[in-house]
Amino acid sequence: MRPQYFLGIAAITLAACDPATETEPPRTRPQALEAEGARNDAFRLAEARFKIPREVLMGVAYLQGRLEAPGVDEMQSQASTSTDPQEQDPHFTPHRFGIMYLSDEQVAAGAQLISATDDAVRTDVQANVLAAAALIAARTDTTRTLDWETLDSLEAALTHLRELEESPAAARLAQTELTRVLHQGFDLTTTDGERVAVRGFGELELDAASQSLGVGEYPAMQWVASPNYSSRDGNPIRYVVIHDMEGFMSGAISAFQSPARQSSAHYLLRSSDGHIVQMVTEGNNAWHCGNGWYNRNSIGIEHEGFAGRPNGGGYYTETQYRASAQLVAAIVHRYGIPVDRGHIFGHGNVPSSGSGGICSDAQANAAQCGGSAHHWDPGPTWAWAHYLDLIAQALNQPPPAPPTPPSCGGLASGAQLAPGQSLSSCSGNVTLVHQGDGNVVLYDNGAHKALWATGTDGRGTTTFAMQTDGNLVLYGNGALWNSGTYGNGGAILVVQDDGNLVVYGGGYRPLWNTGTHAAPPPPPPPPPPAQHPCGRLDAGASLARGEQVTSCSGRFVLAHQGDGNVVLYDRGVALWHTRTNGKATTRFVMQGDGNLVLYNGGTALWNSRTNGHGGAFLGVQDDGNVVIYQGATPLWATDTVR
């Protein structure tokens, strides 16, 4: 069962269950729901034994991990071995245990206070909650009356529990957030089916100004400086990199304020209310993605949440998406950054090193890229299409139109393949088959080999459905496999001639792909040198070694050189290149599917990642920019305007 979160409406939910609440006087403190289960029993026992209100303990556990213990994915705390501070792991965190997220030191201290074993505190819910309550009580005068408006008498103990003594700003934010949650209340059901709820005692007033910002205006934010940054060395801001914190705002601030951690980000976003903290100015280079070149050319934004949990563990809220979208809209408006996945992408899409093109989502979610430490945040359940739509809305741009299935090779929204049915690309070179053995396999017909499969052979399958909610799902006895692209209504599936299987959302944004490529047929004998229109390479045209395209003014030349590099020159000065010098290249092709590809025989060495845009062409412009257009819409550019 997926957790169900109802933050901010707990009072309404619970009042409906208890008619007596309609006439009760206003509450002056939060109130825990009387419910069954191991967590609820542990909170009641801890309150009775250590005099710490169970609502406080429940609020701490709610903020730490939505009352779930950290999984194996969050406990992979291996820092990067790189000596370059720009390539350090920005998500290194100590191991935490149980629903109270106790460190190794706290486990040992808490176990001693409650006369339990360390292992029990790590793994048993009751021992974990009791240990946390004992640690709080050891630093609290429990005879004092607790002020629920400020929780001031618990502040020192809670700061110590969160290990934030060295970061006063982070400690204040954590205390404010706990107070906020106890005012609002919460009501959730955990993954193992236990309901845990606290009735709040006061609504929070939203900042109306932040809800009605003009185009390009930055939302309100808090400045908390990080010492971990360097110069951009003259590099432009051309990308926005999206991260999750693998944790929470206060812990991330504390980490980014530590010089020893050698990591930072420009902005941090809080889940519950969209609060923004800035830690590095945009003009400086934050160390956020484990790749020095991408750091120097991007702005990094961290979000509360966990890559390995559905919907970020419940932290990828609409509030956080909208606040982040408003921030990114202001950034892209200021720097002229296109609103697309080629310029706004996740940490997992960042190459492991160097300045090459970004990785596919399939590679990102398989931890094959993600900078030097191979991170994959924000994970497969970050709603990219929705997020980009929100950014476009903040810029007063219309949302992208839903994609139209191609005449061949496409599976429309709502369509499906039954066992025994197949779908072939337009050329017939690639076929997707829903086999009778339960496996769905993508075949390269020319090479007679499988490119990709769902790995469900031997299972009784019924349908392979491109659902109207945007998710591609293989059904048998329940859902056996899915693409994780739900929330993108109208998405389609395309079997492409290049061997890639892609789910496209609005505006033909790729939401998921197999990252596979079929072997193209052997190249024909080289034709005589082509005569290209000035400044243009049309769909289907290519440049052999030694050929070039020149802008109409004659000033700018895009040349496929004999050394294998494709270089853009301004009167002999190199402005941009594919970084393939020394490679045995054969042709630089503006493919019919919209992708610009540099080949060595049948192997692609570089590409623009613009496939799915049939009829696109390349233009070498008189302003020095090289742009791929589909009609009048730019899809990719070298960003070399002079």
Q: What is the pLDDT of residue 254?
A: 87
- The strand pairing partners of 344, in sequence order, are 240
What 3-state class would DSSP assign to 309? coil
Instruction: Output DSSP code: residue 510.
Output: E
Q: Which CATH architecture has domain 536-637?
A: Orthogonal Prism (2.90)
- The strand pairing partners of 196, in sequence order, are 188
619 residue type, one letter: G
The alpha carbon of 602 is separated from its chain's Cα centroid by a whole number of angstroms, namely 33
Q: 452, 400, 472: which is closest to 635 by C-alpha?
A: 400
Instruction: Round to whole Å and give the CA distance between 405 and 419.
Output: 21
Instruction: Round to whole Å and give the CA distance between 18 and 23.
Output: 11
Q: What is the pLDDT of residue 310?
A: 80
Instruction: Output DSSP code: residue 519.
Output: P
Residue 370 near residue 348 (C-beta atoms within 8 A)? yes
What 3-state class would DSSP assign to 326? helix
Give whole-number Cα distances, 481 to 60, 73, 298, 401, in Å. Answer: 35, 21, 35, 27
Strand order of the sheet with strand 222-223? 222-223, 276-278, 267-269, 298-303, 239-244, 344-346
Torsion of CA 556, 562, 565, 567, to 10 degrees: -10
Instruction: Round to whole Å and give the CA distance between 284 and 232.
Output: 6
Q: What is the pLDDT of residue 487?
A: 64
Q: What is the pLDDT of residue 601?
A: 81
Give whole-number Cα distances, 238 to 29, 38, 216, 265, 597, in Å. Answer: 48, 50, 16, 16, 22
The alpha carbon of 45 is separated from its chain's Cα centroid by a whole number of angstroms, namely 39
Sequence ranges of the domains in the chain: 4-199, 209-394, 410-513, 536-637
Q: What is the pLDDT of residue 21?
A: 39
How many residues does this entry show for the chain? 642
Considering the entire predicted model, what is its pTM?
Answer: 0.50
Tell me if the bond preceding 378 is cis, omega within 30° of 0.
yes
Question: Would you tell me which CATH number, out of the four given (1.10.10, 1.10.20, 1.20.1260, 1.10.530), belongs to the domain 4-199?
Answer: 1.10.530
Residue 506 near residue 485 (C-beta atoms within 8 A)? no
Instruction: Round to whole Å and give the CA distance between 362 and 517.
Output: 13
For residue 395 the two structure tokens come to: 């810029």
Question: Would you tell me which CATH number, out of the four given (2.90.10.10, 3.30.9.10, 3.40.1190.20, 3.40.50.2300), belongs to the domain 410-513?
Answer: 2.90.10.10
C-alpha angle 280-256-326 in degrees, rounded to nearest 5: 50
Domains 410-513 and 536-637 are alike in CATH topology = yes
Give whole-number Cα distances, 346 to 107, 110, 119, 333, 369, in Å. Answer: 34, 38, 36, 19, 10
Residue 294 near residue 286 (C-beta atoms within 8 A)? no
Residue 413 near residue 364 (C-beta atoms within 8 A)? no
Q: What is the pLDDT of residue 219?
A: 82
Alpha helices in 162-210 (DSSP H): 168-184
Q: What is the pLDDT of residue 14?
A: 32
Give whole-number Cα distances, 72 to 54, 75, 88, 208, 408, in Å. Answer: 27, 5, 21, 40, 43
181 residue type, one letter: V
Q: 501, 504, 411: which is closest to 465 by C-alpha?
A: 411
Greatest CA separation found in the chain? 92
What 3-state class would DSSP assign to 130? helix
Query: For the stretch 170-193, what's the b/e string if a residue is b when 16 or more beta carbons lie within 10 angstroms of its beta carbon?
Result: bbbbbbbbbbbbbbbbbbbbbeee
Can you say whether residue 448 is alpha, beta or left, with left for phi > 0 and alpha for psi between -120 and 50 degrees?
left
Measured in degrees and rounded to the nearest 5, phi and psi for residue 327 equal: -65, -50
Block mean pLDDT (10 aa), the chain, length 642: 29 33 64 92 96 94 82 40 51 71 92 95 96 95 87 91 77 82 85 87 51 72 91 93 90 89 93 85 93 96 90 81 91 91 94 89 89 92 90 79 88 94 93 95 92 93 90 87 78 93 83 81 59 80 92 93 92 91 90 92 88 92 94 92 88
Classify domain 209-394 at the CATH class level. alpha beta
Residue 608 near residue 636 (C-beta atoms within 8 A)? yes
Give whole-number Cα distances, 56 to 40, 127, 627, in Å. Answer: 13, 17, 57
Q: Which helix (H) or strand (E) holds 391?
A: helix 384-394
Evaluated on CA atoms 301, 302, 308, 314, the torsion sign reads negative
Alpha helices in 395-465 (DSSP H): none
What 3-state class would DSSP assign to 625? coil
Q: 71, 46, 49, 65: which is closest to 57 by C-alpha?
A: 46
Residue 319 near residue 272 (C-beta atoms within 8 A)? yes
